[in-house]
Amino acid sequence: MLMQKIKHLVLGITGGIAAYKAAELTRLLVRNGITVQIVMTDAACHFITPATMQALSGRTVHTKMWDASIPNGMPHIELSREADAILVAPASADFLAKLVHGNADDLLSTLCLARNCPLLVAPAMNKQMWESPATKRNVAQLLKDGVMIMGPDSGEQACGEFGLGRMLEPEILFNDLLSNLNAELPTRPLAGKQILITAGPTIEKIDPVRAITNLSSGKMGYSIAEAAIDMGAEVTLVSGPTFLTAPPSAKFVSVETASEMLNAVMENITNKDIFISVAAVADYRPASQSVEKIKKNKSSLNIELIPNVDILGEVAALSNAPFCVGFAAESENLLAYAEEKRQSKNIPLIVANIANEALGANESTLTLLDDNGTYPLPKSSKSKSARTLLTHIANML
């Protein structure tokens, strides 16, 4: 059994298809000696039954404000006072808005308002709902209010769309919960660290409508940014064009070209402790850009390409360089090419992966290479891989 500070958790469940994940999370918590008190909204009961959650938690599930089984008739007080923490998973967009405005129109929202313990939420919603200005404002305010935001993850959604908004998987939530709340564990190993991360592709224009780019989605870089914030770091994220939403508490710089990314990095690198170069930066750009659209004809088209500046190399060569981490996406001779890149840039750590398996995917298979050896990681979600990578970096530091 785990040695732990947290003994009793109130698990709130709101309406959403991700409610089924609360069952597995409850099972993990109970298996590790944590008592779980389930509180469900009316909407949650449409997705998973109180009977199921009672069977898994071994405790009465509460759904109503006016509960005669509570001796003093005040479940919003009684249930919160014995809790070491409250976790709402899934937390719908509506429930996040309730928390921001202090609405207390059902048992779970009233309980959260009346709490005297930490509150954590695991958002789950459609990607447009997560990316809406209203939700962004609500998340930013919750962070200011001291509420811990866990996720969301990116991937295929129940509606058939793809993007940020998926609730974190139960195992990740379980591990993050313990890491955030247990004094015996290294809770925030990057606390006080300043990290600059690059992410996504770059675009090098040929003419007003054509460009050279690559298939990077930015998911790995954004996952690292989110995990770094969870682990206590202050993050600056410099990103090429993606469809992802930057973590609300990160300083975000949007760029398109490799030259713009270089300038943004050099403008923000001062006093950074760690630089993680995840972006798939174009190695070459057109020597010149046509101001007019190049017309199609039957003859061949030759475009002269010239090399872009190596951003990671420029940062690593600084006299006061931060701890530099590179990424090597290769199609063959993975470890040999990655180690060659690490040595040539004189950096302490490089992350290797197979390009055609990693670009655009939700999962990754990474190998870490440093002076002490090679560390292959199992295939897992990019969110989990990001946390493993950052833990390795924290240990090296």
Q: How far apart are CA 231 and CA 220, in angstroms?
A: 16
Share of the chain above pLDDT 90, in %: 39
Confidence band for 229, pLDDT divided at 50, 70 and 90? confident
Helices (H) and strands (E) in the chain, counts: 14, 21
**DSSP class per residue in 313-366:** HHHHTSTT--EEEEEEEESSSHHHHHHHHHHHHT-SEEEEEEHHHHTT-SEE--
pTM attached to this predicted model: 0.58
Q: What is the pLDDT of residues 295-346, one digit of tens each?
A: 888 788 888 899 999 999 999 999 999 999 999 888 788 888 899 999 999 9
Q: How far apart are CA 98 and CA 102, in angstroms?
A: 6
From 312, 228, 218, 328, select the one nearest 265 (Cα to Cα): 312
Domain coordinates in residue numbering, the chain: 8-181, 194-288+304-396
Q: Which residues pair with 375 in a beta bridge?
A: 368
Decide: helix, strand or coil at residue 55: helix
Name the helix (H) or strand (E) containing 371.
Answer: none
Q: What is the pLDDT of residues 14-28, one digit of tens each?
A: 998 899 999 989 988
**DSSP class per residue in 193-255:** -EEEEEESB--EESSSS-EE-----SHHHHHHHHHHHHTT-EEEEEE-S-SPPPPTTSEEEE-
Using alpha carbons only, what angle is made at residue 26 by residues 21 and 27, rounded to the nearest 5 degrees?
100
Identify the pLDDT of residue 211. 87
- Residue 358, pLDDT above cutoff 80: no
From 316, 262, 313, select the one nearest 285 (Cα to Cα): 262
Q: How far apart are CA 11 and CA 22, in angstroms?
A: 8
Domain 194-288+304-396: which topology?
Answer: Rossmann fold (3.40.50)
Burial (CB < 10 A; 0-12, 13-18, 19+), residue 304, is exposed
Other C-beta atoms closer than 10 Å to the C-beta of 182 total 16
Which conformational region is residue 134 in: left (phi greater than 0), alpha (psi within -120 to 50 degrees), or beta?
alpha
360-385 average pLDDT score? 85
Q: Which residues are catalytic?
A: 159
* Same fold for the pair 8-181 and 194-288+304-396: yes
Domain 8-181: which topology?
Answer: Rossmann fold (3.40.50)
Share of the chain above pLDDT 70, in %: 90
- Residue 182, pLDDT above cutoff 90: no
Phi, psi of 71 (to 5 degrees): -50, -45
181-188 average pLDDT score? 51
